[in-house]
Structure 1
Amino acid sequence: MNRHFGSRQAVGIAAVSALALTLTACGGGRDSGRSGDAAEGAPSPGITDDSVTLGITTPLSGATAGPGTCTVAGVTAYFGMKNAEGGVEFGDGQTRTVEIEALDDTYDPQQAAANYDSLKDDVFAMTAGLGTPTNRAWREAAIADEVPQALIMTGDPLFSDTEESPWQLGFVPIYQNEGEAFGELLASSSEEHRVAILSQNDDFGAGYVEGFKSAVEGADNIEIVEELTYEATDTSVDAQITQLAASDADVFFNAMSVTPLVISALQQAQQLNWLPNWFLPSNTSSPGAILQPGGADAFPGIYSVSFSKAPQSPAFAEDEDVQTYLSALAEYGNYPDPPAFPHCQWSWMVGATLEQAFMEMEEPTRDSFMEALRSIEDFQAPLMLEGTAVTTSEDGQPAVSTLNVQKYNGTGYDTVESFE
């Protein structure tokens, strides 16, 4: 089921941080009132005639190290491949390579802000980093410093609001979009359903729940019977799962972002013999890293959303995009095994989208880069599923706002059109 919402694991990353990559950068001035180097057309920090440097702050250790590592590996692999081919030709006619500087924030907002401070004067733009609280921690500083916070891995709609966040743009669908897709699928069912909800007690969880509730509002066949939250710092959600199991809900809307907690929630539900259908966010629905360790086959259905091809899926085993990606991921991203998290695919797509902006920049400035970045229309980035695309020009929406609802099949996911 394709949804469009418009208008309105660990990998050795020490080597990644030191890996030299390249890219081209140019840009034309914007008339948005920005000032400084961009207004004069002088090169911004982090870019020369030969190279451009991108910064990333993301969790490379701790509970979210798996997906965090992937946010570096994919984009590093993409530009490693491009650099090996000679670099990227920018809109000003210069060909540049891209250097990636990645720092570990352990999913801690204070450390993320410190990482940004240490990178901001040496990089052309920040990109790809995972997390809502961690990206929010330095958002205002990036605006004040006029440093792009481009194509980051958060579904927080604030980062896609041009007026509130003029130097920001999210990459993945906003939380409300994912939640709404689940709600629409469930509301389309001809059966009655009792729903239990567990969400992270922050903007991440609130956004998913908001989107879901908006889609099921007025649906006579849907009843929300229990709703609980947890803290992202919690080490267990067993108590919440036990309480929710007592509701006898047949559908569990589980808006969680912490990998170990999702696995333990799957296991705890089975111990309680509570076997509902599950709705899981795209960032915590990995078949290999989460569903299989959690024993997901015990449940009648595990549903998630996606916009990227999954290398683990037999349907894409011979796909040319996937083969190119896996080869580059091993050679240039220091990631030899098939990726367990979709963030590796997403950051590969981030690299391709950045390249599109670089090719349109007319001056080597951050201002020109942002103008080019916000002008991409219907770009079929490599690894995108049919019916999805990158469009960056729609205010209030991230680079990707199209997605497919999918059902776990034991090894990967199949796209579905109705709730079974």
Structure 2
Amino acid sequence: MSVIAGIGIVALLAAGCARGGGGGSTETAAASPGITDDSITLGITTPLSGPTAGPGTCTVAGITAYFGAKNADGGVKFGDGKTRKVEIKALDDAYDPQKAAANYDQLKDSVFAMTAGLGTPTNRAWREAAIADKVPQVLIETGDPIFSDSSQSPWQLGFVPIYQNEGAAFGDLLASSSENHKVAILSQNDDYGKGYVEGFKSAIQGHDNIQIVKELTYEATDSSVDAQLTELAGTGADVFFNAMSITPLVISSLQKAQELKWLPSWFLPSNTSSPTAILQPGGAEAFPGVYTVSFAKAAASPAFAADPDVVKFLADLKQYANYPDTPAFPHCAWSYMIGATLEQVFAKMTAPTRDDFMSKLRTISGFQAPLMLEGTSVDTTKDGQPAVSSVIVQKYNGKGYANADAFG
């Protein structure tokens, strides 16, 4: 991670962007900012420093690797017959909304679109400005449903499943159990945490064998949640729904629960469930089950060691993103998929305009991007849903994850 963290404020080869909505455009339309006959430039604001730097650097590395390989082969062919190199300008926001908004202001006039950046509060910080400026803010890595609601704006689209979908997937799995369960909840006190809890509660509604015994929150700026863990452990809950986005806090929560001798089954969001970066340091093997959801092949999993997608992905990361290690976070794979999705959109564009880009972005359906798990796909045609809306529930087995067909 330290290799990529040095990216800082630099321009990187690679990138792409997506979704949206303006009207169609003609081939004679004036080109939008950030695109010429031989290149297209896309912007990213994402945490490259601070507690979320690990996943944040992946949001740049994956898309850099994808388009780095394409650029090396001559570039990407667009629907207007021109072949363009893809360039990315990436700026560090340290997961700070004010910095993210300043980064957008710095990038908006020189990039064609903004893409891939991580974070709900950071992406929200400049959403209204992007709408006013008619700059695409697409295929970003937040599950906030506001970015996938075209009735509010035609200029946004999320990439990863919305938080409600992830929460509901675990709720459905738990609801399939015939045993009685007591659930304790700790969630981030913002739209991120609220979305996960909303989805979970909707899925268990009407199941009398599942009881929520206590529900607490924490702030994303907190340095410890030990007090909350102690209070929740006192409930004796056998299931812990932990909607948390801060990597160090997830690790310390796993450790604190063991210190308190509270060993429930856990649910963790997809972006904070890395086996090597979080579960192993936190001693997750002590718990009867740690569950998460996914739509991407995990490069670190022995099950995918010889998978052609994974082999190429790791080679591209090393060669074109200077990322020599196997990623500990799924965000590298997600942004690699974003690159592949953007290429699909570029191939349909007949005019070098943001309007045409957004119009064509809405037409991708059933696309099996590299690294996608069987049973998932990219579909940008579902209003109110991000580009990826399907997930697979998985259970940690001490080294990686395996599909979870039942709870327990």
TM-score normalised by the chain length of structure 1: 0.94
In the alignment, is residue 87 of structure 1 matched against residue 75 of structure 2? Answer: yes
Q: C-alpha distance in 1, partners of 2:396/2:19?
A: 43
Alignment partner of 1:183 out of 157, 164, 171: 171
In the alignment, is residue 242 of structure 1 matched against residue 230 of structure 2? Answer: yes
- Judged with a 3 Å threshold, the aligned counterparts in structure 2 of structure 1 residues 24 and 234 are, in CA distance, closer, same or farther, namely closer
Correspondence for 1:342: 330
Deviation of residue 10 (structure 1)? 3.7
Correspondence for 1:371: 359
Q: Match of 2:378, SS?
A: coil
Q: C-alpha distance in 1, partners of 2:45/2:190?
A: 20
**Pairing of 1:113-262 with structure 2 (within 5 A):** 113-262=101-250
Q: C-alpha distance in 1, partners of 2:70/2:386?
A: 25
Q: Match of 1:181, SS?
A: helix
Aligned residues with identical type, % of pairs: 72
Correspondence for 1:416: 404
Alignment partner of 2:13 out of 14, 21, 27: 21
- Judged with a 3 Å threshold, the aligned counterparts in structure 2 of structure 1 residues 43 and 205 are, in CA distance, closer, same or farther, namely same
Deviation of residue 265 (structure 1)? 0.2
Deviation of residue 12 (structure 1)? 2.9
**Pairing of 1:269-284 with structure 2 (within 5 A):** 269-284=257-272
Deviation of residue 416 (structure 1)? 1.1
Q: Specify every segment of 5 or more residues in structure 1 that has no aligned partner in the other structure, as ranges.
A: 1-8
Q: C-alpha distance in 2, partners of 1:184/1:21?
A: 42
Contact 2:243 2:268 in 1 (8 A): yes
Q: C-alpha distance in 2, partners of 1:184/1:406?
A: 13
Correspondence for 1:5: none
Alignment partner of 2:85 out of 75, 92, 97: 97
Alignment partner of 1:320 out of 297, 308, 313: 308
Deviation of residue 18 (structure 1)? 3.9
Deviation of residue 11 (structure 1)? 3.5
Deviation of residue 166 (structure 1)? 1.1
Contact 2:19 2:136 in 1 (8 A): no
Task: Kindly provide the CA deviation profile for residues 295-336 of structure 1, in whole angstroms up to 9, marking residues without a partner as x.
Answer: 000000000000000011111010000000000001111210
Q: What amino acid is the match of 2:328?
A: A
Q: C-alpha distance in 1, partners of 2:216/2:163?
A: 18
Contact 2:137 2:156 in 1 (8 A): yes
Deviation of residue 411 (structure 1)? 1.1
- Judged with a 3 Å threshold, the aligned counterparts in structure 2 of structure 1 residues 26 and 387 are, in CA distance, closer, same or farther, namely closer
Q: What amino acid is the match of 2:104?
A: Y
- Judged with a 3 Å threshold, the aligned counterparts in structure 2 of structure 1 residues 310 and 287 are, in CA distance, closer, same or farther, namely same
Correspondence for 1:6: none
Higher mean displacement: 45-54 or 16-25: 16-25
TM-score normalised by the chain length of structure 2: 0.97
Deviation of residue 372 (structure 1)? 1.0
- Judged with a 3 Å threshold, the aligned counterparts in structure 2 of structure 1 residues 20 and 256 are, in CA distance, closer, same or farther, namely closer
- Judged with a 3 Å threshold, the aligned counterparts in structure 2 of structure 1 residues 124 and 364 are, in CA distance, closer, same or farther, namely same
Task: Kindly provide the CA deviation profile for residues 345-386 of structure 1, in whole angstroms up to 9, marking residues without a partner as x.
Answer: 000000000111011001001111111111100100000000
Higher mean displacement: 199-208 or 331-340: 331-340
Contact 1:89 1:359 in 2 (8 A): yes
Q: Match of 1:233, SS?
A: coil
Correspondence for 1:298: 286
Contact 2:20 2:136 in 1 (8 A): no
In the alignment, is residue 351 of structure 1 matched against residue 339 of structure 2? Answer: yes
Q: C-alpha distance in 2, partners of 1:203/1:274?
A: 28
- Judged with a 3 Å threshold, the aligned counterparts in structure 2 of structure 1 residues 17 and 95 are, in CA distance, closer, same or farther, namely farther
Q: Match of 1:405, SS?
A: strand
Contact 2:20 2:138 in 1 (8 A): no
In the alignment, is residue 70 of structure 1 matched against residue 62 of structure 2? Answer: no
Q: Match of 2:3, SS?
A: coil
Q: Specify every segment of 5 or more residues in structure 2 that has no aligned partner in the other structure, as ranges.
A: none
Q: C-alpha distance in 2, partners of 1:26/1:188?
A: 37
Counting matched residue pairs gives 408
Q: Match of 1:12, SS?
A: helix
Q: C-alpha distance in 1, partners of 2:45/2:170?
A: 30
- Judged with a 3 Å threshold, the aligned counterparts in structure 2 of structure 1 residues 298 and 97 are, in CA distance, closer, same or farther, namely same
Alignment partner of 1:50 out of 13, 29, 38: 38
Alignment partner of 2:350 out of 340, 343, 362: 362
Contact 1:80 1:333 in 2 (8 A): yes
Alignment partner of 2:23 out of 31, 35, 38: 31
- Judged with a 3 Å threshold, the aligned counterparts in structure 2 of structure 1 residues 177 and 150 are, in CA distance, closer, same or farther, namely same
Correspondence for 1:3: none
